[in-house]
Chains A and B, each alone.
Chain A
């Protein structure tokens, strides 16, 4: 897959696969195209050449309406939340339900408040996004991304701006959704320690390509770029990872997303 903005290539021969039912951690410095990769999985951006396949569908050949059908199974958390600023929290989180299900107003309200309390927010339903703090905004946006119980969840920097308590809360929630519902998760982060605990697969983006593998594989590998990015501390941290990780590896699922 190739992509360039102007004359600056973002990817050149990038190829990676993400497996269904696993948590993928997308690592890389800023400007390596982590967010862009997420946007391409969501069909918001198209590669200049190459193929993006999600659940067997080649996104390049799809029209907006067909993309919509696929997107109903994808939740996406944008970097700055992307909540609609003219609508209350309740309306924002309940919007996908109101648009795509036949649930009654009461059912929607119940579902919204249960999702909101799962991310640690109560009594914010009637507030407008501008009345929320950055961390609350992020969590409301997270609630909106999972309210439809998607099969794939794309999270762009979900932990930046959150206090440690809420980082843990969101992590636990992600792991639980992954375990119980088989949710496929793709998380980007420029800061790895915060989200390593839960990752099944790590994808390290550098030099317009990516290196992927389990954390253990990457730690034990001898790729110079990886070593440089992780540093000695990172590598030793990864090496000890299986000790601190509180869940085991999930077995191979069928292919959920191929990126080439």
Chain B
């Protein structure tokens, strides 16, 4: 019993300690955003890895999600004779929820895990220590450009995802099921508002991108320096970032006031 309580205490202490380290890391990451020299070249490279290489996945997934939405919602709506609401329902659900969340989870799996694996293997092969010995801060040199790239790529990928999904639902609803294209677009445009819906979507994807950037670089930076440690850290990034995205999604939605 005593042992059990002791192990509970130990795990509580270590998780608080972990949070503290994450906070310190986040603080250093933030201050290194403005510290010279700028790491623009590394940022571009990281943006290529996180953004450009995710475009195909995001476009394909967006289109597929749109097609599924079009099919499901059209069938459901037509039961109530409300097919013309398809554009509105598709638009609102995509812009407010599905876009940022699904895109966030996809980018976590595609790019976030890759960042952790890369930073982690740099740690395992002493590249981070090598930088420190050259008096170069690895958080500034390695983590910051990658975290920033994830935060910048996410809103852009989110917008792409939504546009492709709108197109996917259009293809099913209009070309396949025979809804009038004008009705679909008009419903979409009259239902979706910038201030409420697009703004919320942007905020969410930006927050998700920043969370992912923080988690992915921290997990790589703090992993144990061997192959197994890198593998564990990569898994941990996907799990932690996914949970963080879903939790913060609820919080933002609740605070925004639907």
Contacts and interface: CB of A to CB of B under 8 A. Distances in A.
Q: Report A-B touching, CB under 8 Å.
A: yes
Contacts of B37: 99
A167 interface: no
Contacts of A99: 37, 134-136
Contact of A95 (B45, B126, B129, B134): B134
Interface in B131-145: 131-137
Interface stretch (A70-78, A119-127, A157-165, A173-181): A70-78
Contacts of B122: 84-85
A135 interface: no
B72 interface: no
A252 interface: no
Interface string B102-134: 000000000000000000001001110111111
B133 A83 contact: no
A44 interface: yes
B213 to A, nearest CB: 18
A86 interface: yes
B135 A44 contact: no
A78 B132 CA distance: 12
Nearest to B135: A68
Nearest to B28: A64
A82 B127 CA distance: 5
Interface in A48-87: 64, 67-69, 71-72, 74-76, 78-80, 82-86
Contacts of A144: 134
A8 interface: no
Contacts of B125: 80, 82, 85
B129 A78 contact: yes
Contact of A74 (B126, B129, B130, B133): B133
Interface in A171-219: none
Chain B interface category by residue count: 10 to 19
A71 to B, nearest CB: 5
A72 B45 contact: no
B50 to A, nearest CB: 14
A82 B132 contact: no
A21 interface: no
B216 to A, nearest CB: 17
Contacts of A95: 134, 136
Given A80-B126, A84-B127, A64 B134 contact: no
B126 A82 contact: yes
Contact of A83 (B129, B130, B132, B136): B130
Interface in B37-64: 37, 45
A44 B129 contact: yes
Contact of A82 (B129, B136, B137): B129
Contact of B130 (A67, A76, A100): A76
Interface in B47-94: none
Contacts of B137: 64, 68
Nearest to B133: A76
Contacts of B127: 82-85
Interface in B170-208: none
The 6 tightest CB contacts between A and B, nearest first, are A82-B130, A68-B135, A82-B126, A76-B133, A71-B135, A96-B134
